[in-house]
Structure 1
Amino acid sequence: MIKNGFKNIGPGPLVAAAFIGPGTVTVCTIAGVTHGFTLLWAMLLSIVATAVLQEMSARLGIVSQKGLSEVIRTEISNPFFKALSIILILSAIVIGNAAYEAGNISGGVLGLESLAGNASGSSSLWSLVIGFVAFVLLFIGNYKVLEKALIILVILMSLAFLITAILTKPDLVLVFKGLFTPDFSNNTILTVIALVGTTVVPYNLFLHASLVKEKWKDTSDLKHARKDTIIAVVLGGIVSMCIIISAAAIKDGQVSNAADLARGLEPLFGNYAKYFLSIGLFAAGITSAITAPLAAAYVATGCLGWSSNMKSLNFRLVWMLILGLGVLFSSIGFKSIEIIKFAQIANGLLLPLIAGFLLWIMNKTSILGIYKNSAIQNIFGVLIFGIALFLGAKSILKVFGML
């Protein structure tokens, strides 16, 4: 029974690994320190939205046996809109992931340095170590090896953050109140946008559709994919909530990232809390450092009509470029603010575009046949599209300093 359960674990944990990176850890930390438990409802909303969209993406991948970027390239017939969509997707995912990769690696380094008491040597050395581990796992080009490695890291990360939250002994009444009582006050809206935006990630939709066809080849596997997706997204959401809960225990306004949180927890809850949190941050960094280049490779190969075989030269060249830039920027401490701003604008435009496109494609009988969206799935999809449109507009206004 347990063996069969593990056998049917698919790309879900990889999706969870992808959206719980150092950026998510930092956003959740700030949310907890600044607003306590009051924004847990935003994370609950994010979990529902992510589960709905990722299930659609997984269903598309299994039924069509194509990645999302491949479907976009073949289904949009208008040359102008096709070119515009491909340019926007490549800009947001490939360039964006190159910018974010430095943050992923730096997050893993922060976790290692916190564990070693900041006396572990230079950050650039740890950046190279994390980059090397990611390189080896990606170069092997074996989906099963990658899946097992990331599942172990996700379990490690989940346990680390869960234990940290338990150690802070939160008030469960306030936790449940925060989960089910939405707070739309002006001083919380930007943090809500950040929480939803860091969970409902455009590149995960591409990654998921591409990975499920590596794992499953038949529509009879849809039930396994659905269960795998829901369990992984819920688990990922619980991890994010645990970070918020842990951060809520700190009343120091100086806490602005997970490394500060690790130091802040130490005097209150002892070394154990600090070590568990540092392990979680390291696992979050290294898993995202692996999935970001992988997603970029699937997107680029799908958009440009190249082979998406993990061992093909073009596929490897794309992820090597992303990983190499990440290690370089992380090692020299380069703050690629303008590149990240550009990626945020592109992602702000991309999320509603991809959510809308996904909704359109999931209703096409010519692609999905009897597996197209039901009325309930479409209702949820339209609501999420509206949220994506709102978030996209807000994130672009924020980048231009108009919010």
Structure 2
Amino acid sequence: MSNGRTADVAGWRAGMMLPVARLRQLAAILGPGLVVMLADTDAGSVITAAQSGAQWGYRLLLLQLLIIPLLFVVQELTVRLALCTGKGYGELVRARFGRTLAWCSMLTLGVSCFGALATEMSGLAGVGQLYGVPVWLSMLLVGGLIFFMVCTGSYRSVERVAILFGVFELAFLLVAWHARPDYHQMAAQLRHMPLANHDYLYLLAANLGTSIMPWTVFYQQSALLDKGLTLGDLRAARLDTLLGAVLCQVITAAVLVAAAAAFGSHGGGMRLDDIPQIAQAFTSVLGEHVGRMLFAMALGGGALVATIVVCLSVAWALGEVTGRHHSLELHPREAPWFYSAFGLMLLAGGVLVASGINLVRLSIATGVVNAVLLPVTLGFLFWLARHELPPQHRLRGGRAVVIGVIFMFAAGVGLYAGLAGALG
């Protein structure tokens, strides 16, 4: 009897250990998708969403939720390409299309990343200004700390720090909850979307372009490989990406709701000019000191994560296109191109921010540029998924048709709204 009980206890313990082991394995795999999506909720996204709420109330809220499936499909294809081929996005483009088009994709990435980096560092400078820190000092501290962290750590350590900072973005959910939005007004405005208005189209393009960006594709594909994940991790990596996509857009929607409740109570029409003005959405709901602190933590956390991701995207892509070393596991002496590219991006972004450029206009314009570049970004991704994946994971049949239609529609909307808004 005692042997039977011992066997039962052993079996019970083994049964308990199995899900625990699976959870540990899942926790070890999670990261790249969450990091890239937390970075996607960057200073540019926050500023664009806040401007959308202040100027148009809740009329762009539905768009934030419709972007979730598009965002997941885009990033899931990058996951599949990484784990099935063992190559980065830049390597695949070079192998399939040649060096000329590879450098064209690199140019697209560079334009997107430089605008994003300037936006992130401007956001961090704006957070510093809330507490009286000069812009030049903020840039010096932020640039130095990020470069030191990357040069002295592995990918996993950088990932942990990025997630830690990114968690502060959850403060936006708290503000949206306490803003007490008018749901009747929300429902009425959601039924009225002024698609003929050029200003509305411009912000629609900016919201789309701050969600689907070239550097998120480059980053996640390279990050999965730098972390050492394989095809056996595909299911967990997809879950990681899904969680990140939902979290990203829910946070962005929360910013829009908070801004609409704070500035758009009469239907919108207000234009925001700087970060302290955006911070008023927090101080009006949570009080001056608490609201300002949470806003600084949320915006600063997202901007820090995005700064790391943007710089790494360029460095990884440059290495992939040129065939040079591009891994955080390598010492700076072993991969000078990688770390030099990272440092130059930080330096250039800091100099641009110190020049006094208008943050809000830059952030929204960067999103519009990304939206106009969507045909290139989505076109390359779709072609690679159709031709570079092994047969069992290749994009084909009805799934390929559906995703192709979705990509064409998104690219068309981004191109039309961006150009119509800019030229109108």
Shift of 1:214: 2.1
The residue aligned with 1:289 is 307
Identify which of 222, 230, 237 aligns with 2:242.
Answer: 230
1:23 corresponds to which residue?
44
Q: In the TM superposition, what is the alpha-carbon distance from 1:69 to its structure 2 partner?
A: 1.0
> Hey, what's the Cα distance between the residues in 2 that align with 1:391 and 1:64?
30
2:31 alignment partner, SS class: coil
1:39 and 2:60 are equivalent in the alignment: yes
Assess if the C-alpha contact under 8 Å between 2:38 and 2:244 holds in 1.
no
Q: Deviations over 1:109-133 (max 9, x none)?
A: 212332x2xxx33111011111122
Matched, 1:166 2:177: yes
Change (3 A) 1:350 1:368: farther
| 2:39–2:305 contact (8 Å) kept in structure 1 | yes
Residue 137 of structure 1: aligned partner: 149
1:371 to 383, 388, 393: 393
1:297: how far off?
Answer: 0.8
Matching of residue 90 in structure 1 with residue 100 in structure 2? no
Q: What CA distance in whole angstroms lies between the structure 1 residues aligned with 2:247 and 2:420?
A: 32
Residue 128 (1) aligns with residue 140 (2): yes
1:251-291 residue CA offsets vs partner (Å, 9 max, x unmatched): 37253444312135424541223321221111122111111
Q: Is the 8 A contact 1:89 1:350 kept in 2?
A: no
**Following TM superposition, by how much is the alpha carbon of 1:371 offset from its aligned partner in structure 2, in angstroms?**
0.9
* Change in CA separation of 1:59 and 1:358 when aligned onto 2, cut-off 3 Å: same
Q: 2:381 — aligned with what? A: 358
AA in 1 matched with 2:57: G
The within-5 A match list for 1:171-186 is 171-172=182-183, 183-186=193-196
Q: Normalising by structure 2, report the TM-score.
A: 0.83
Query: What is the distance in 2 between the residues matched to 1:350 and 1:170?
Result: 34
CA distance in 2 between counterparts of 1:208 and 1:326 reads: 22
Higher-Rg structure is 2
Q: Distance in 2 between matches of 1:261 and 1:315?
A: 36
TM-score of the aligned structures, taking structure 1 as reference length? 0.87
What is the deviation of 1:213?
A: 1.5
Distance 1:20 1:32 in 2: 16
How far the C-alpha of 1:378 sits from its partner, in A, is 4.1
The change in CA–CA distance for 1:338 and 1:190 in structure 2 (over 3 A counts) is: closer
Question: Identity over the aligned pairs, expressed in percent?
Answer: 22
Any gaps of 5 or more consecutive residues in structure 1? none
Cα shift at 1:139: 1.5
Contact in 1 for aligned 2:112/2:215 (Cα 8 Å): no
Give the deviation of 1:94 after TM superposition: 2.3
Q: Aligned residue for 2:317?
A: 299
TM-superposed CA distance for 1:356, in Å, is: 1.5
Shift of 1:175: 5.2
Deviates more, 1:340-349 or 1:313-322: 340-349
Considering only aligned residues, what root-mean-square deviation do their CA atoms show, in Å?
2.9
Structure 1 equivalent of residue 10 of structure 2: none
Deviates more, 1:350-359 or 1:316-325: 350-359
Query: Residue type matched to 2:68 in 1?
Result: I
Shift of 1:227: 0.2
Q: Work out which of the residue numbers 73, 79, 87 in structure 2 matches 1:66.
A: 87
Aligned partner of residue 206 in structure 1, secondary structure: helix
5+ residue gaps, structure 2, are 1-19, 265-269
Residue 106 of structure 1 corresponds to 122
